[in-house]
Chains A and B, each alone.
Chain A
């Protein structure tokens, strides 16, 4: 039972353009959502988060949007840079005890 889904395994974007990564969830009890970035052979690094009471959070080049009615969130990166190439995981908090992760989307930024 996959409660958090990232339906695009990979995404390729040209440098300077906008990258949009999508995530869907099924559990309406999730109260907090996060995006993590992961390079090969390293642990996930926290990127940005959003509370379920908000619909947008922005931090520099990164913006996360939350559509509660659609149970959908997205991460926008603009402008995309080569260093953004990584695997991005969407995660949702279930209570105070654990995060539920999506399968990840591999983002490649082409020069």
Chain B
């Protein structure tokens, strides 16, 4: 049973480009969470999704960021017109029920904006 898979592991984008981060949850998990970790900081909640629904996006920046979890395929975190301040590690977690306590994390995508 594969764990939470995130790709790419590393992503380099120039300022103004778009970044797409993908997350495939563990088999049987229908709840996905995205977190961001800035250098020397803890993980900050961004968004919680179930299949085809955004449940809580209270941690998402109001502009340029969006997330989806379609019926088929991975969850996607999309950042448009990236800026240097978007450089961070982005982690995805999944759980079988809506219980953040039982979430399992992927290895993360390290985004670098140059």
- Taking Cβ atoms with an 8 Å cutoff, the residues of A that contact B are 4, 6, 32, 34, 36, 41-46, 49, 89, 91, 93-94, 96-104
Secondary structure call for the A interface? strand
Asked if B100 CB lies within 8 Å of chain A CBs, one says yes
Q: What CA separation (Å) do A45 and B93 show in the bound complex?
A: 11
Residues of B within 8 A of A6 (CB): 42
Taking a contact as CB atoms under 8 Å apart, the answer to whether B104 and A46 are in contact is yes
CB distance from B55 to the nearest CB of A (A): 6
Taking a contact as CB atoms under 8 Å apart, the answer to whether B44 and A101 are in contact is yes
Q: A97-B48, A98-B45 are in contact. Are A34 and B101 (CB under 8 A)?
A: yes
CB distance from A77 to the nearest CB of B (A): 20
Q: Which of B64-114 contact A (CB under 8 A)?
A: 91, 93, 97-101, 103-108, 110
CB distance from A99 to the nearest CB of B (A): 4
Residues of B within 8 A of A101 (CB): 35, 42-45
Asked if B52 CB lies within 8 Å of chain A CBs, one says no
Contact of B45 among A43, A100, A103 (CB under 8 A): A100
Residues of A within 8 A of B108 (CB): 41-43
Q: A43-B106, A45-B105 are in contact. Are A96 and B41 (CB under 8 A)?
A: no
Q: What CA separation (Å) do A100 and B6 show in the bound complex?
A: 21
Residues of B within 8 A of A93 (CB): 99-101
- Determine which residue in B41, B42, B43 has the highest number of CB atoms from chain A within 10 A of its CB, and name it: B42
Taking a contact as CB atoms under 8 Å apart, the answer to whether A96 and B104 are in contact is no
Asked if B56 CB lies within 8 Å of chain A CBs, one says yes
CB distance from A33 to the nearest CB of B (A): 9
Q: What CA separation (Å) do A49 and B110 show in the bound complex?
A: 27
CB distance from B15 to the nearest CB of A (A): 24
Residues of A within 8 A of B61 (CB): none
